[in-house]
Structure 1
Amino acid sequence: MLNRRQFLAFATAAFAAGCQNQAQLPPRPARPGTPGADGVKVSSDFAQMYRAMPGERFPLPAIDLSKIDPVYYRQLVDYSAPEPAGTIIVDTPNRFLYLTMAGGKAMRYGVGIGRAGFAWGGRARIQHKRAWPTWTPPAEMIARQPDLEKYREGMPPGLDNPLGARALYIFEGNRDTLYRLHGTADTWSIGKAVSSGCVRLLQQDVIDLYNRVPNGTPIVVRQA
């Protein structure tokens, strides 16, 4: 389970930040042998995977994959883990989220994670999921940014909503950790440490994950 002292400290920080972007850390060096996004021809499979989704409640545009390191494209990979199939594992240092599957496989997604000072780790579960969720900024954030007063009762769903197209809510027992897995339109943030604790995925990826996991799905967040 999450360390109680860490949980309280990090949950307070996340609540105050409301999953919005924070100051961006310097980008990590490219992995050896991994081509940069610029100049890389995107295969038709990936182009189809990240195509426009006009049937969504708020139609989503296609993702410009030239802006993302190909290592972070969604893909089925070999993956050995002690957790049973159907577990979400967030590999914080490497900016990956895995959904474990039978036969030593996993679906791997690139993610953006919490910036230094707001990292968190442990075991919890997905209590519930929301499609096109409402985002409610905490009172502390409204005090710092009075222009958010209009959203005190919640920011309606939409393309500009910080939680994106889907949100998965992480609980420890019956306690809301205030952390989320959620979508983002900020494609540049994938592979980086920019948020205050929430784990963000590309819109098309969070929809894919949302459709694969039920409420109650276990989640493990690893810091090393």
Structure 2
Amino acid sequence: MGGITMTRRGFAALAAAGALTGCARSGEVFEEVGADVAQSNFVEGYGPVADGEYLLPGVPSEYLEGVNRRSLVAYTGDQAPGVIEIDPFAKFLFFVNEDGSAWRYPIAVGRAGKTLRSTTTIRRKEEWPGWQPTANMLRREPEVYGPFANGIPGGLASPLGARGLYLYSGSRDTFYRIHGTNDLGSIGNSGSAGCIRLFNQDIIDLYDRVPLGTRVVIRTYEDSVRIEGEAMANRGMELPPKIVSPETIYGALEDSAG
């Protein structure tokens, strides 16, 4: 696939594909959300990105209000430098630095991501990863995942976004992922499909910072309240499931390949 100029249909597919689950424990896909993205007046760090053969759209400022953007903050958690700590309640991911600071990224916590409890390790990193439902997903919910049995190739329409960090327990793939998303409205919220999702601009930034072997620790609700405060520990809302037709995704792939 060469350089891509996205049509209105293509942007709609990006928003829809962003909500397909990249994990094996969830069962929702999202309806088409079409929007032309203005290419000016972006928050610093969230404008359009030329990434290899892809032109990644910018993130409109309405999705970046308050704490819902990447920040370098004083780290007040309990983890050592070089660790990723995920707070699924305050909807933050922290990458802890040596100097007592941390990069804080807003996240979306999918239904699968909310079941992540144990400490894991990043054993695999992929740029523009493709996605395919697992055999278990196809068996449990064929009406949802059957149309996507052949998978979605890596690229702008992939549900895993621009980057994927694959979490392992020892040598075993947990099927949990930290990955990008095109479902911009999900960031800062929970209840959507998928695992732990970031704006694509943020997952690119995080991907470049973390090496293989990085530990990923999940913060408890009690620690979230203690560290972030009760209000922040209850940030966001539960998002209802929506449905997207496979024609939306595969049609946009055909458009972009043409």
Q: 2:168 aligns with which of 147, 168, 171?
A: 171
Structure 1 window deviating more from structure 2 (155-164 vs 87-96): it is 155-164
Q: Summarize the alignment of residues 51-66 of structure 1 with structure 2, pairs less than 5 Å apart.
A: 51-66=47-62
Quote the sequence identity (%): 39
Structure 2 CA distance for partners of 1:55 and 1:69, relative to 1, 3 Å: same
Shift of 1:181: 0.2
Amino acid at match of 2:74: D
Structure 2 CA distance for partners of 1:127 and 1:116, relative to 1, 3 Å: closer
Verify the 8 A CA contact 2:107 2:196 in the aligned structure 1: yes
Q: RMSD of the TM alignment (CA)?
A: 2.6
Amino acid at match of 2:90: N
Shift of 1:146: 5.0
Aligned-partner Cα distance in 1 for 2:101–2:144: 46
Shift of 1:124: 1.2
Shift of 1:132: 0.5
Residue equivalent to 1:120: 116
Verify the 8 A CA contact 1:22 1:194 in the aligned structure 2: no
Residue equivalent to 1:17: 26
Residue equivalent to 2:100: 104
Residue equivalent to 2:254: none
Residue equivalent to 1:72: 68
Aligned-partner Cα distance in 1 for 2:51–2:136: 36
Shift of 1:142: 3.5
Give the 3-state SS of the residue equivalent to 2:55 in structure 1: coil
Shift of 1:70: 2.5
Structure 2 CA distance for partners of 1:183 and 1:197, relative to 1, 3 Å: closer
Structure 1 window deviating more from structure 2 (72-81 vs 133-142): it is 133-142
Aligned-partner Cα distance in 2 for 1:207–1:75: 14
Shift of 1:222: 1.4
Aligned-partner Cα distance in 2 for 1:82–1:149: 43
Structure-1-length-normalised TM-score: 0.75
Structure 2 CA distance for partners of 1:50 and 1:56, relative to 1, 3 Å: farther
Verify the 8 A CA contact 1:167 1:180 in the aligned structure 2: yes
Verify the 8 A CA contact 1:116 1:193 in the aligned structure 2: no
Structure 2 CA distance for partners of 1:175 and 1:195, relative to 1, 3 Å: farther
2:200 is equivalent to residue 191 of structure 1: no
Residue equivalent to 1:92: 88
Give the 3-state SS of the residue equivalent to 1:115 in structure 2: coil
Q: 2:212 aligns with which of 208, 211, 215?
A: 215
Shift of 1:69: 2.9
Structure-2-length-normalised TM-score: 0.66
Instruction: Structure 2: give runs of 5+ residues left out of the alignment.
Output: 1-22, 32-40, 222-258
Structure 2 CA distance for partners of 1:118 and 1:90, relative to 1, 3 Å: closer
